[in-house]
Amino acid sequence: MTRRPHEQLPKEALSAESLRERLVGAADPAYRAFNASLLPGVTDLLGVRIPVLRRMAREIARGDWRRYLARAEDRYFEERMLQGLVIGYVRCPAEEKLALVARFLPKIDNWAVCDIFCGKLRPELREPMRQFVEPLFGAEEEFTVRFAVVTGLVNYVDGEHLEWLLERLAAVRHDGYYVRMGVAWAVSVCFVQAPQRVMEWLSEAPIDAWTRDKALQKIVESNRVDATTKTAIRAMRKRLKGRE
């Protein structure tokens, strides 16, 4: 049955069992195999494509989403992804939104759920979220730190916040693979915004050689960096590796 945008899902459609049936019905075995190759260690995949999850999340966000989040279950990867998307879509006061985010963070156990969860913020949430994530750059949990890093690169690479973000990235000391790759990604995004400043930062920031090299690699791989700059970055990578 097709619903109009303003219509809400009936409560029975928000039950964990009903939503799980929809997810299982939307599963694509080929996509599951593809996704499994990108998510080592994640064994609870159904194989539901992200556009399908987004449509479901929007439906839930238009209805009694608080009831849904209170009763949502985590048997499958897609069930956790769906919760994260719903939290992103719902409209509620900043204090309530941040409480939802805080409750969801311990459920993040892979880069895909983390990165999809870190969507663009509405203007009224940017400053509260910035204050919320600031201490998380120093957290112990790998995906909590990655959440802070990716939230930063998605929302705070601008003239007002760039220096703040670079300071936070320089202070990260977590040695988890997904944290370090997240920092490298963030540095490459900052480079597009302010190439000269980021090159200065790379020469002075106390980040490890591996992360610096991955950041330079991602700059080279970026479609938003011109060919001449990429050539210079490749030469820089080669020089730095020669010193190691």
9 with 103, same domain: the answer is: yes
- Residues 109-153: tens digit of each pLDDT: 999 999 999 999 999 999 999 999 999 999 999 999 999 999 999
User: Does pLDDT of 106 surpass 90?
Assistant: yes
Residue with tokens 């980021």: 198
Give the torsion sign (CA, 104, 105, 111, 114). Answer: positive
Question: Of the given ranges (15-24, 74-83, 94-103, 178-187), which has the lowest mean pLDDT?
Answer: 15-24
- What is the model's pLDDT at position 195? 95
- Residues 56-96: tens digit of each pLDDT: 999 999 999 999 999 999 999 999 999 999 999 999 999 99
CATH number at residue 168: 1.25.40.290
123 with 210, same domain: the answer is: yes
155 with 177, same domain: the answer is: yes
60 with 148, same domain: the answer is: no
38 with 127, same domain: the answer is: no
> Does residue 66 lie within any of the structural domains?
yes
The DSSP H or E segment spanning 155 is helix 142-155
- What is the model's pLDDT at position 5? 46
55 with 164, same domain: the answer is: no
User: How high is the mean pLDDT of the chain?
Assistant: 92
Q: How far is CA 4 from CA 1, 8, 26, 70, in A?
A: 10, 9, 21, 25
Q: Note down the domain range covering 225.
A: 118-244
154 with 50, same domain: the answer is: no
Of 81, 108, 135, the residue at which a domain comes to its end is 108
User: Does pLDDT of 103 surpass 90?
Assistant: yes
- Residues 127-136: tens digit of each pLDDT: 999 999 999 9
- What is the model's pLDDT at position 13? 60
> Does residue 16 lie within any of the structural domains?
yes
- What is the model's pLDDT at position 12? 55
- What is the model's pLDDT at position 16? 74
Of 60, 85, 108, the residue at which a domain comes to its end is 108
> Does residue 206 lie within any of the structural domains?
yes
- pTM for the complete prediction? 0.90
Number of domains the chain contains: 2
> Does residue 113 lie within any of the structural domains?
no
User: Does pLDDT of 100 surpass 70?
Assistant: yes
Of 108, 139, 172, the residue at which a domain comes to its end is 108
137 with 218, same domain: the answer is: yes
